[in-house]
Amino acid sequence: MSIVKRPDIKSSWYVTSIVKGMALTFRNMIYNIFHKDEMPTVNYPEEKYEYGPRFKGSHILTVKKDGSIRCTACMLCATNCPADCISITAAEHDDPEVEKFPISYEIDTLRCVYCGFCEEACPVDAVRMGPEWQQPGLNGSSFVHDIQHLTRRPNLKGGYLSILDEEERHNSGI
Amino acid sequence: MLKCTVNGKEIEVAEGTMVIEAFKQAGEDIAHYCWHPGLSVAGVCRLCMIEVEGAPRLMIACNTQVTEGMVVSNNSAKVQEAVKWGLDFHLINHPLDCPICDQAGECGLQDQYMKFGQYDPEMAERKVKKRKVVDLGRKIVLDTERCILCSRCVRFTDEVTKTSELGIFNRGDRSEIGTHEDKPLDNDYAVNVVDICPVGALTSKDFRFKQRVWYLDNDSTVCNGCSTGCNVNVYYNEKGYFRVKPEHNKDINDYWMCDKGRNIFKHVNKENRLLKAIKKTEAGTQMMAPGAAAKDVASLIKNYSSDQVAVVFTGQYTNEEYEDAMMYIDKLGTKKVYHWVNNSESFDDFDGILLRGDKNPNTAGLIKALEAKSLNSTWEQLEAELNSGAIKLVILAGPELQEYFPDIQEKIQLFSKAENLVVLSSNPNPAYRDVDYLIPMKTFVEKKGSFTNFAGTVQKIQKMRLVVSQALSLGEAMQLMAGDELQIGASL
Ligand code: SF4
Ligand code: SF4
Ligand code: SF4
Ligand code: SF4
Ligand code: FES
């Protein structure tokens, strides 16, 4: 059996706390009106926050010098991903120098926790976390990014070049 | 018996044992690439270094016989150092291919490197480049750069298949594994070289790039490809079944299996399976749950007297299933039980290694189950009774590996002479288009049980991952068709 306690007169002291809280709110509001430049919040979307260069935002798949995808489909990123949100399908490449490449590479960014483990695991600098952080979308499926989006979305302006070049590596005798 | 001491453990080994076998027997780790228990000794990789008390220098364990009172060890700093530099020599010209190499995760070089290596390479020389992605026929791809020239594959084709396709060409650091003029390596046991290759130099075309090995679980079972009953490991994960590898059994398949058996997982995967029961009605076809369809058949059977019902078996089910099925056949009361023998001309063939003409894993078990009930109707009787119309309903326990039943179309036409034909099958087949009931069955990886091989050895098979959870085992199907209810928890 539950016992219902009727609110007694003492509990109506919450009114004081509310008044205190509101006083703080209004004090800050009025202060901010007169000191706009000190305000810690920004008026998104008119104003945007500048994150540091190490910010880990939306994924990018880098490309080689010839514009083809750098990823070798080794699946180390998918193995390292704690959210299990990368799915890759590997295939045989026509060029024996390349041998293996991904025919599909998808990241479910709604499951992603932006930890950057994928970037860290990649042996060939093929996946990076870029500076973008805005990801508008109409429904869940627009947050599953495919190869096309990850390598060539308009924001990437033609694709990011991987720092690892196979030819240089071969020439240096590795 | 000889007494010896391995890393401080005293053991007794048989006369003629090599030191490396003594290490295995004592459960001590020892690095090795070229030695393989199923092949002759080559002693070329120099990784199985040991220190023998009284001997001034290190020796190789794979080519040194145990002598009475021998004291050997491989845990001293001297040995570790030798193994480390031995490994470095193997890696001098080895490419940095692990990301795209199918062997990664089960690679001898990776394992040894993690144990003894973990150094920066000290070679100033450039790596020698060799041929990559060499096509060796339908089954195998060769990467000569990754090869460490252990010669296991060469010895395999020399000693086991005796076809001698592979050889080592050129000399020194230009040495390469290959076939003469890149002829295909196409014998019936070729894929075994992929298993024994300690690195990713030989990879299987079928498995290449499908999965990384660390995503796969495996369980041991028995190959259902022929009556030899090779012990195998089946590799699978939540996406499906991916490959089959042999498992050592010295009485049956030793370390090997045939290449046909490598395909036994393919029909198991969902895209090839029969998912729902299909009932033919006047209006077309109706999809049903498998259990419901079997109950439907039970009510159909009631319209016939027991000698109007015939049951046809194939040798592709487990002993336990046959046993259950016979029990419910007793209940149905029919004596008309038949054994469909596929490829009867080549039934007794044997290729001298493993492959047998009887393409059923459990013919012996079926024959035994039929004999136990003294059911000995012949195929001619079945044909005659179908032609005369004495049999009104046929229940066919269809084959799981349909490719080994080339006469499936004719046989279904024959059975269709009866008014009703019920086919139990794990997979669809164009020949089953017009059958009255098609009921999905479990495959050999989805049920427990045992197969009896050609020599009468009973071997257990294991239940792994269910692909079609509604599918029935033969026992369950017969039980439902005989009008019984399934017991919860009693399923195979
Ligand atoms: S950032 Fe972390 S969670 Fe997101 S894909 Fe990479 S590894 Fe997975
Ligand atoms: S992105 Fe990098 S780690 Fe991921 S599969 Fe491609 S190459 Fe491997
Ligand atoms: S053989 Fe082993 S070490 Fe060599 S590339 Fe393949 S996985 Fe890496
Ligand atoms: S291909 Fe593999 S098995 Fe053959 S010699 Fe080279 S490393 Fe050994
Ligand atoms: S295993 Fe002994 S030398 Fe290779």
B438: which strand partners?
Answer: B278, B423
Residue B322 neighbours by CB distance under 10 Å? 28
CATH dotted code for B2-90: 3.10.20.740
Task: Find the ligand nearest to B167 CA.
Answer: 4
Which residues of chain A make contact with B208, given a CB cutoff of 8 A? 92
pLDDT digits (tens, 9 = 90+) for B461-470: 999 999 999 9
Architecture of domain B270-491: 3-Layer(aba) Sandwich (3.40)
Q: For B357-383, what is each residue's pLDDT tens digit?
A: 999 999 999 999 999 998 888 999 999
- What's the A101 CA to ligand 2 centre distance in angstroms? 9
Buried b / exposed e along B229-258 (16+ C-beta atoms within 10 A): bbbbebbbeeebbbbbbbbebeebbbbbbb
Q: Is residue A43 part of a domain?
A: no
Q: pLDDT class for B33, splitting at 50, 70, 90?
A: very high
Over residues B131-148, mean pLDDT? 94
Give domain status of residue A68, yes or no: yes
Cβ B90 under 6 angstroms from ligand 3: no
The pLDDT of residue B393? 94
Phi-psi region of B54 (alpha: psi -120 to 50; beta: other; left: phi over 0): left
Confidence of residue A4 (pLDDT cuts 50, 70, 90): low
Ligand 2 nearest atom to the CA of residue A76, by list position:
3
Interface test with B, best of A70, A71, A72, A74 (most B CBs within 10 A): A74
Q: What is the pLDDT of residue A169?
A: 78
Determine, yes or no, domain membership for A10.
Answer: no
Q: Percent of chain B scored above 70 by pLDDT?
A: 99
Q: Is residue A72 within 6 Å of ligand 2 at its C-beta?
A: yes
Q: Once rounded to an integer, what is the mean pLDDT over residues A37-63? A: 89
Q: How confident is the model at residue A40 (pLDDT cuts 50, 70, 90)?
A: confident
Residue type, A132: E
CB within 8 Å: A100 and B133:
no
Of A99, A123, A173, nearest to B132 by CB-CB distance is A99
Neighbours of A146 (CB within 10 A): 11
- CB-based contact, A127 to chain B, within 8 Å: no
Binding-site residues, ligand 4, Cβ < 6 A: B 147-153, 177, 196-199, 201-202
Q: Which two tokens stand for residue B412?
A: 């279904």
Q: Does residue A52 fall inside a structural domain?
A: no
- Counting Cα atoms < 13 Å in the Cβ hemisphere of A15 gives 5
Fill in the amino acid letter for B408.
Answer: I
Minimal CA separation from A96 to chain B, in Å: 6
Q: What's the per-residue H, E or C state across B225-276? A: CCCCCCEEEEEEECCEEEEEEECCECCCCECCCCCHHHHCCHHHCHHHCCCC
- Is the confidence at residue A6, as pLDDT, over 90? no
Question: CATH topology of B2-90 equal to that of B270-491?
Answer: no
Residue B436: the pLDDT is: 95
Look at residue A11 and tell me if it is in a domain: no
Taking an 8 Å Cβ-Cβ cutoff, which residues of chain B contact chain A?
96, 98-100, 104, 125-127, 129, 132-133, 208-210, 212, 214-215
Q: Is B99 close to A99, i.e. CB distance below 8 A?
A: no
Distance CA B93, CA B165 (A): 25
Is the whole-model pTM more than 0.80?
yes
Look at residue A72 and tell me if it is in a domain.
yes
Closest residue by Cα to residue B328 from B390, B382, B376, B395: B395
- A74 touching B (Cβ < 8 Å): yes
Instruction: Show me where the domains of chain B are located.
Output: 2-90, 270-491
For residue A45, say if its preceding peptide bond is cis, omega within 30 degrees of 0: yes
Query: Per-residue pLDDT averaged across B195-207, rounded?
Result: 96
pLDDT(A42) > 90: no
User: Which CATH number characterizes residue A116's domain?
Assistant: 3.30.70.3270
Contact A99 B126 (CB under 8 A): no
Nearest-CA residue for ligand 3 atom 7 is: B104
Q: Is the pLDDT of residue A69 over 90?
A: yes
Segment B440-492, tens digit of pLDDT: 999 999 999 999 999 999 999 999 999 999 999 999 999 999 998 887 665 54
Residues A114-124, mean pLDDT to the nearest whole number = 95
Coil, helix or strand at residue B157: helix
Which ligand has the minimum distance to the alpha carbon of residue A62?
A: 2
Instruction: Please tell me the distance from the alpha carbon of residue B23 to that of residue B44, in angstroms, as a whole number.
Output: 19
- Tell me the H-state helices in B102-249: 108-116, 152-159, 192-196
Give how many domains chain A has, as a whole number.
1
Please indicate if any CB of chain B lies within 8 Å of the CB of A90. Answer: yes
d(CA A161, CA B22) in angstroms, rounded, equals 54
Residue A16: inside a domain: no
Average pLDDT over residues B145-165: 96
**The pLDDT of residue B432 is above 70:** yes
Question: Which residue segment(s) compose the domain that A87 sits in?
Answer: 59-172
ipTM: 0.84
User: Residue B463's pLDDT is what?
Assistant: 95
